Structure 1
Amino acid sequence: METASKTTPALREMALSVTNRLQNQNSRQTYHTVLTRFLTWYSAAGHAALNAAAVRGYLLYLENSGRSRGTIATTLSVLRQLFKDLRRLGTINEKTYQDLLEIRVRRPRGHRLHTWLTLAEVQELLRSLSRDRIHGVRDRAILALLAGCGLRRFELCGLRLKQLQETQGRPVIADISGKGDRQRTVAVPVWAGKCLEAWLAASTELRPADFIFFSIRRNGEPGSARITPQGVRDIVAHHSRDILDKQVLPHDLRRTYAQLAYKAGADLRQVQLSLGHSSIRTTEIYLGLDQDFANAPGDLLEISL
């Protein structure tokens, strides 16, 4: 087996091949992120061989870095596909591949307790962000679109300027590519639109590409061409912890969008369409709907005997 320094370029080429074969854009992004991070770690760690021990070392590194078991399980799944291709090409032998297959990551049992914010908490979160610094203006717009449009974080990361359009006389985000490559268009509420407009105005001269959101260094200079899903997660977690003193994740804001809209009178079907759910049952779970015995459906049947 070759050393890490010799195999890394070949591995990067193989990782690119594995990624490019995928049809789904979101899957390609996931594979690209996972494999890039693994190969960066692998090269820096100086492992003598690419084997199950190296993979176990990386998974332990992820665990010690605070990554969730779900993230670690996804990483292992992607690495198995890479090893499968390496075995096919003869880069690794059958025993090395079988050793990898024996690695197991126990997925968390049950479901994480969902978090929904109140309308007052959403307002406090947005109003408390600084509008004097470029970071604050950007983060406010990110939070506004997550809570006001119900976007997934990977959807937000992929937004481009050309998607900001008008439909039926109001601003929308068009052609959002969601799970399963399902396309949808979502209306932007006035208050979220104001946050977005402030960010677009402040970032015009900094923008490195046509992505709406990009990373910003501490000195205010632009970083990567577009912000990453992990970057969005960190932004939401940081501000919710500082402002609300509670842990909130991007998907909690998506659920909050659905619940607050539904409670305010939005039609369930319209909420489903805005979220991009293929099943109405998934939308009901997002809403946290419980059976209401005080206002039971049968009570609406005005039958006289």
Structure 2
Amino acid sequence: MSAPIEAALDSYLRHVSIERGLAANTVAAYRRDLTLYAGWLQGAPPPAEPVAGLRQITAAHISAFVRYLSCREESPLTAASIARVLSTVRGFHRFLLEEALVDVDVARETKPPKLAMRLPKAISIEQVAALLAATDGDDLLQLRDKALLELLYATGARVSEVVSLNVDDVLAEVLDEEVVRLTGKGDKQRIVPVGSYARSAINAYLVRARPLLSARGAATPALFLGVRGQRVSRQNAWLIIRAAAERAGLSVAVSPHTLRHSFATHLLAGGADVRVVQELLGHSSVATTQIYTLVTVDTLRDMYTTAHPRAR
């Protein structure tokens, strides 16, 4: 990879990290995508030609790169993954044009592959109740798990948002004001109501479990702690939910995101406005939230087919 391309990649990654303030994980994903792209440019097969500098890249290179991603022998990417990589590449080329490093944005017209419509996987209200009931008990970890799962379902939060919470984030807001401030993608904050079940579970955990867990490790402001007193990770949370699902005897796969999907689906089925759900989930576009309306329509259709005497 020639110095001009390498230097431009470094400049772009500094730009998204410092000036745009993207999260470290997002910047790392951009770096992986662009490293793949730059490596491919160096040995691009026909009809494209290998390039040594930024101004040699053409629209043909971008199109050929997208085709390569879908059919490479080592591990072809799915349409969703290709769309993500292409989004990164297009952002890089926009940056090159804005910085006057090139005269034209050669990636502008390249379209991502069409994505199949995938409905979010949600579980029923009864299954959620069984999952939460599986964490009942007075054991330290049962109290913690109950608070964690109740908060995930009460707020529809991403698991990363919940495990990153500190004690100070909930002491006043959740227990007194009945809301919690969540920090989502791009460090965007939103206020989400928290119901009485979650507040009660959090209070029980803070009073009866967290002090004892905290004494097992170094001092940390983290809200949810592991057995050694450290902050619970996203992986820990996934294992906690999987174990609860097994104890509840659920036959479906359950992950932290399942509770987020269930939160949105149950709200919409109960009559909540899609734009309210959008705000609660922290979606930047209502189009992302509207996929949940397809779930509720499917449910209504199934109920109609089953119940109406002339539906079949």
What is the TM-score when the length of structure 2 is the normalising length?
Answer: 0.55
Partner of 1:14: 12
Q: Which amino acid aligns with 1:285?
A: T
Rg larger in structure: 2
Q: 1:34 aligns with which of 16, 29, 52?
A: 29
Report the CA distance shift for 1:213/1:275 in structure 2 as closer, same or farther (over 3 A). Answer: same
Cα root mean square deviation, aligned: 5.8
Separation (CA, whole Å) in 2 of partners of 1:62 and 1:139:
43
Aligned length, in residue pairs = 274
3-state SS in 1 of match to 2:171? strand
Partner of 2:192: 185
Partner of 1:285: 293
Q: Which amino acid aligns with 2:272?
A: L
Is 2:162 the partner of 1:156?
A: yes
Report the CA distance shift for 1:131/1:248 in structure 2 as closer, same or farther (over 3 A). Answer: same
Partner of 1:75: 85
Report the CA distance shift for 1:166/1:134 in structure 2 as closer, same or farther (over 3 A). Answer: closer
Partner of 2:46: none
Q: Which amino acid aligns with 2:2?
A: E
Q: Which amino acid aligns with 1:35?
A: Y
Partner of 2:94: 84
Separation (CA, whole Å) in 2 of partners of 1:57 and 1:132:
56
Q: 2:121 aligns with which of 103, 115, 118?
A: 115
Report the CA distance shift for 1:247/1:79 in structure 2 as closer, same or farther (over 3 A). Answer: farther
3-state SS in 2 of match to 1:288? helix
Partner of 1:105: 112
Separation (CA, whole Å) in 2 of partners of 1:62 and 1:201:
52
Q: State the Cα distance separating 1:145 from its structure 2 match.
A: 2.2
Report the CA distance shift for 1:121/1:176 in structure 2 as closer, same or farther (over 3 A). Answer: same
Report the CA distance shift for 1:185/1:75 in structure 2 as closer, same or farther (over 3 A). Answer: same
Correspondence 1:47-58 to 2 at 5 A: none
Correspondence 1:1-305 to 2 at 5 A: 1-2=1-2, 7=6, 11-22=9-20, 28=23, 31-38=26-33, 59=69, 69-86=79-96, 98=106, 104-109=111-116, 111-126=117-132, 128=134, 141-153=147-159, 155-156=161-162, 158-166=164-172, 170=176, 172-177=178-183, 181=188, 183-191=190-198, 193-194=200-201, 197=205, 200-201=210-211, 204=214, 206=217, 210-212=221-223, 227=233, 231=235, 244-248=250-254, 250-260=256-266, 268=272, 272=277, 274-275=280-281, 282=290, 285=293, 288=296, 290=300
3-state SS in 2 of match to 1:183? strand
Separation (CA, whole Å) in 1 of partners of 2:219 and 2:73:
33
Q: State the Cα distance separating 1:31 from its structure 2 match.
A: 3.9
Q: Percent identity?
A: 19
Separation (CA, whole Å) in 1 of partners of 2:179 and 2:73:
36
Separation (CA, whole Å) in 2 of partners of 1:55 and 1:213:
43
Separation (CA, whole Å) in 2 of partners of 1:42 and 1:207:
43
Question: Which deviations, in whole Å up to 9, do the C-alpha atoms of 1:217-249 show, x marking residues without a partner?
Answer: xx9695xx7856xx5896589558866342445
Q: Which amino acid aligns with 2:214?
A: T
What is the TM-score when the length of structure 1 is the normalising length?
Answer: 0.56
Q: Which amino acid aligns with 2:95?
A: D
Q: Which amino acid aligns with 1:77?
A: S
Residue ranges of structure 2 left out of the alignment (5+ in a row): 44-51, 305-312
Separation (CA, whole Å) in 2 of partners of 1:116 and 1:261:
12
Q: Which amino acid aligns with 1:14?
A: Y
Report the CA distance shift for 1:220/1:163 in structure 2 as closer, same or farther (over 3 A). Answer: closer
